[in-house]
Structure 1
Amino acid sequence: MFIAVAKERHFGRAAASLGITQPTLSAGIKQLEEQLGVLLIFRGSRFGGLTPEGQSALVWARRIVGDARQLREEMRAVRHGLSGRLRIAVVPTALTWAAKISARFGTLHPNVSFTILSRTSIEILQMIDDLEIDAGISYLDNEPLGKVSTVPLYDERYMLVCGAGGAFAGRDSVTWPELDGHRLCLLTSDMQNRRIINRNLVAAGVTPRATVESSSTVVLVAHVLEGGWLTVLPEDIASFLAQGKPLRLVPLEKPETAHAVGLVAPWREPHTPVLNALLAEARRMVSDS
């Protein structure tokens, strides 16, 4: 209950997320405060933030819940082998890699199922902290990750996606400055991929402008299909979305800095058996490629 209130910063939303009434939630928080002998949450008519003691208690609460989850999974693994559900959040440009990992892992461990969500890199880190997911697939080197376990999967290579009859369709490659003045559709600015593309454009002397922005790579490719737009996507997701369509993928010149994408998991030793197996399989997948 306490973790839910800290996450939602609202008693009503926290209660709804747990499927309980708000009075039940308030009574639970009050009981916890009485047990610990401190005030955890500033509150009057509404949530007023965590007290200093509440901030410290939140760290312990996450650790306790994580340890309890690990205990359950280890006992289940001893009795039934690897089973359960892995919850993974993925940046939109890496969703094809999530499918590769889950398919490979699921073949080896058929009693493990997956929930895969599309989220921004910032949301992924917050969801790991809030114990909402078991792992993420995100950028490893572009924003502070904090204390996490990581497995690098690949370095992004950027492709220009254009119509088969477009000006760049017959080219072997395109430079970033050549995108100046063209009608671009790009991911929204809360996406780390968009921030990387913006920096590449600025470094090339181009003002980043997009006449269409979306959080969905499908929407971007659909606009290119409608004609007149260009988009920039990493190679793997671009190849998947353009397959069988009258589109061309043209490599963009390499930026000065390559950006690594990888599996991100909470830092704890040992990991749960299922998560430990997932990290190990990701390493094997990279070494086999």
Structure 2
Amino acid sequence: MDIKQLHYLCALAEHRHFGRAAQACCVTQPTLSMRLRQLEQELGVALVRRGKQFEGFTPEGERVLARAQGLLGQYNNLRLEVDAMKGRLTGTVRLGLVPLSCMDLSPVLAGLRHRHQGVAFEINDMTADAILDGLNQNTLDIGGGFFEPEVLNRFDSLALPEQGVVVACSPDWSRRLPAQPEPQDLQGLPLCLPKAGMYFRQYLDTQFTRQGMVLEPVLTSDSVYRLMHWVQAGLGCALVPAGSVLFHGLPGVHCRPLALPAMARIGALVMRNDGRASLLARGFFAMAKEVWQYR
């Protein structure tokens, strides 16, 4: 057994496809398959369920995979610690972010990159549940989004102040709104909203239902950039967390605070707190605290 075999196993778990896993590992598919079969022969158990394509892991494979992910995390941390001994932080910070999450990470990324030129970033749009799974399985270093308070107790977290909701719209639509609109002021306006099922959309639906209103958007999307584009084009008004600074920076888009109760979930940055957080994760957290002047 060697570290490359464990790396191939974890890559297969991430990509769920032999060819894509091999490509991610910069080897041929036959090489990856052969090394995994050698690992199975050495351990004396089948790890992978094979058919015409990848069909998942056996129960034994799931247990070996969990240990392999932990060992790979420790191995990567060892390499990072050696670099840190030399006075540098290197590697890729793997971030999972909820679309429309209420934080601007650009100054954190810029600050960390300025201080450590060897640091790069991989940013993935994910659900909150997928982020938590990624942190637990060590496929992510940092998560950002909306989380239940009890979830934050299980992780190191940097919670942001509740900032509320804003209506983002072009000048034509903003002229129909008061400076501080109420939900009733949106009646008759075309709305561009997150897709049904996303947490922020569920929150909006609940709050408007309590006001006796039903949201009937003209456009829904799980892409922040599509919402931004159509708001800027004048198709309608978007309801977004106040911390979604991308909308505030759009030329010709006005943002008005909307009077709604606070969300049950909290906007926060999270990482593992069980001693297995990577040096990259800890470095990112330290920079976030510094940039946000977090106490």
TM-score by length of 2: 0.83
Comparing 18-27 and 114-123, the one that deviates more:
114-123
36, 49, 56: which is aligned to 1:42? 49
Question: What is residue 162 of structure 2 aligned with on the other side?
Answer: 155
Deviation digits for residues 58-79 of structure 1, max 9, x if unmatched? 1101101000001110111102
Question: What is residue 243 of structure 1 aligned with on the other side?
Answer: 249
| 1:81/1:147 CA distance change after superposition, 3 Å | same
Q: What does residue range 143-222 of structure 1 map to in structure 2 within 5 Å?
A: 148-166=155-173, 169-189=176-196, 191-222=198-229
| 1:126/1:271 CA distance change after superposition, 3 Å | closer
Cα offset for 1:2? 1.2
79, 93, 98: which is aligned to 2:105? 98
Deviation digits for residues 201-248 of structure 1, max 9, x if unmatched? 3333322332212233232233223335111112232x5434363332
Contact 1:3 1:130 in 2 (8 A): no
Contact 1:150 1:264 in 2 (8 A): yes
| 1:71/1:288 CA distance change after superposition, 3 Å | closer
Question: What is residue 10 of structure 1 aligned with on the other side?
Answer: 17
Question: What is residue 5 of structure 2 aligned with on the other side?
Answer: none
Question: What is residue 282 of structure 1 aligned with on the other side?
Answer: 288
Letter in 1 for 2:195: T
In 2, Cα distance between the equivalents of 1:244 and 1:275? Answer: 31
259, 263, 269: which is aligned to 2:269? 263
Cα offset for 1:48? 2.7
89, 94, 97: which is aligned to 1:87? 94
Letter in 1 for 2:282: N
Cα offset for 1:269? 0.6
In 1, Cα distance between the equivalents of 2:110 and 2:24? Answer: 30
Cα offset for 1:118? 4.4
Letter in 2 for 1:20: V
Q: Secondary structure at the match of 2:156?
A: strand
In 1, Cα distance between the equivalents of 2:113 and 2:155? Answer: 24
Q: What does residue range 125-140 of structure 1 map to in structure 2 within 5 Å?
A: 125-129=132-136, 131-140=138-147
Cα offset for 1:98? 1.3
Q: Secondary structure at the match of 1:166?
A: helix
Question: What is residue 231 of structure 1 aligned with on the other side?
Answer: 238
Letter in 1 for 2:226: V
Comparing 62-71 and 178-187, the one that deviates more:
178-187
| 1:204/1:16 CA distance change after superposition, 3 Å | farther
In 2, Cα distance between the equivalents of 1:242 and 1:147? Answer: 33
Corresponding position: 1:60 with 2:63: no
Corresponding position: 1:273 with 2:283: no
In 1, Cα distance between the equivalents of 2:17 and 2:122? Answer: 26
Deviation digits for residues 220-279 of structure 1, max 9, x if unmatched? 233223335111112232x54343633321111132535322222244415333322322
Question: What is residue 3 of structure 2 aligned with on the other side?
Answer: none
Contact 1:162 1:247 in 2 (8 A): yes
Gaps of 5+ in 2: 1-7
Cα offset for 1:186? 1.4
Question: What is residue 73 of structure 1 aligned with on the other side?
Answer: 80
Letter in 2 for 1:24: T
In 1, Cα distance between the equivalents of 2:132 and 2:210? Answer: 28
In 2, Cα distance between the equivalents of 1:31 and 1:146? Answer: 41
Aligned residues: 287
Cα offset for 1:143? 9.8
Cα offset for 1:95? 7.8
Contact 1:154 1:262 in 2 (8 A): no
Aligned alpha-carbon RMSD (Å): 2.9
Letter in 2 for 1:235: A
Contact 1:168 1:174 in 2 (8 A): no
| 1:270/1:24 CA distance change after superposition, 3 Å | closer
Deviation digits for residues 35-68 of structure 1, max 9, x if unmatched? 2221212223332322111111111011010000
Cα offset for 1:99? 0.4
